[in-house]
Chains A and B, each alone.
Chain A
Amino acid sequence: GAGVSQSPSNKVTEKGKDVELRCDPISGHTALYWYRQSLGQGLEFLIYFQGNSAPDKSGLPSDRFSAERTGGSVSTLTIQRTQQEDSAVYLCASSLGVGFYGYTFGSGTRLTVV
């Protein structure tokens, strides 16, 4: 696609439920990143994909968070047993490849856990 697409744009879920957030990167972009933006905070790195593998998942805050990428394209970030502190905007970015070619960010998914 022309840009990075994320869905849903907004998600309200009850505490304890699982959620899946989706990212469609720009076609041909092999690098994909997930970031989390909490209210009034900067962007916190979560995980990096190169192709379908995740060489750096050091930013995932707990084992309730996981992510996968299939076909070198779409990525899904899953949060199990959501907690209120998981409420944030989850941003996905893609890049042409290894090294820095400039990130393109999606508009994010705003997750609210009630």
Chain B
Amino acid sequence: GQQLNQSPQSMFIQEGEDVSMNCTSSSIFNTWLWYKQDPGEGPVLLIALYKAGELTSNGRLTAQFGITRKDSFLNISASIPSDVGIYFCAGLQSIIQGAQKLVFGQGTRLTINP
């Protein structure tokens, strides 16, 4: 079942505002990732975090991997219309034979008011 709790579920903001969303887990993950999904498309990787406490930026995006390895946040600064979409956090979980799979949060739907 779902192991990651993502909040908020939806956000309605004005263009230019900053955005913050976070994800928590009852389990430890050694890698956290943030994805964005545009309507009618599959998710696309935004940022990957590999070390506890790591803070990583990608343009206007900043993400942090929590010290406990059970949480992460994503910030978007100075939002623009193309930031609209659904943002997912994901944790990388080991399965068998050295393989791994992604466990996803429920998503945060971002809407930008004109």
Binary interface profile of A, 95-114, with partner B (CB < 8 Å = 1, else 0)? 00011101111111000000
- The A/B interface has a contact count, at CB < 8 Å, of 69
| Chain B proximity mask over A56-87: 1 for CB below 8 Å, otherwise 0 | 10000000000000000000000000000000
- Picked from B45, B96, B99, the residue with its CB within 8 Å of the CB of A103 is B45
Tally of contact residues, A, Cβ under 8 A: 26
Quick check: B98 and A43 within 8 Å, CB to CB?
Answer: no
Say which one of B35-43, B63-71, B72-80 lies at the interface with A: B35-43
* CB-CB contacts below 8 Å: B83-106 with A: 88, 90, 92, 95-106
In the complex, the chain B residue whose C-beta lies closest to that of A53 is B97
Q: Are A55 and B97 in contact (CB under 8 A)?
A: yes
A33, B6: Cα distance in complex, Å? 22
Contact between B31 and A107 (Cβ–Cβ < 8 Å)?
Answer: no
Quick one: CB contact mask for B23-52 with A, threshold 8 Å, 1 for yes? 000000001000000001111110010000
Residue on A with the closest CB to B1?
A44
Check if A45 sits within 8 Å of B101, measured CB to CB. yes
A interface vs B, CB < 8 Å?
A: 4, 31, 33, 35, 40-45, 48, 50, 55-56, 91, 93, 98-100, 102-108
Binding site for A on B (CB under 8 A): 2, 4, 6, 9, 31, 40-45, 48, 88, 90, 92, 95-107
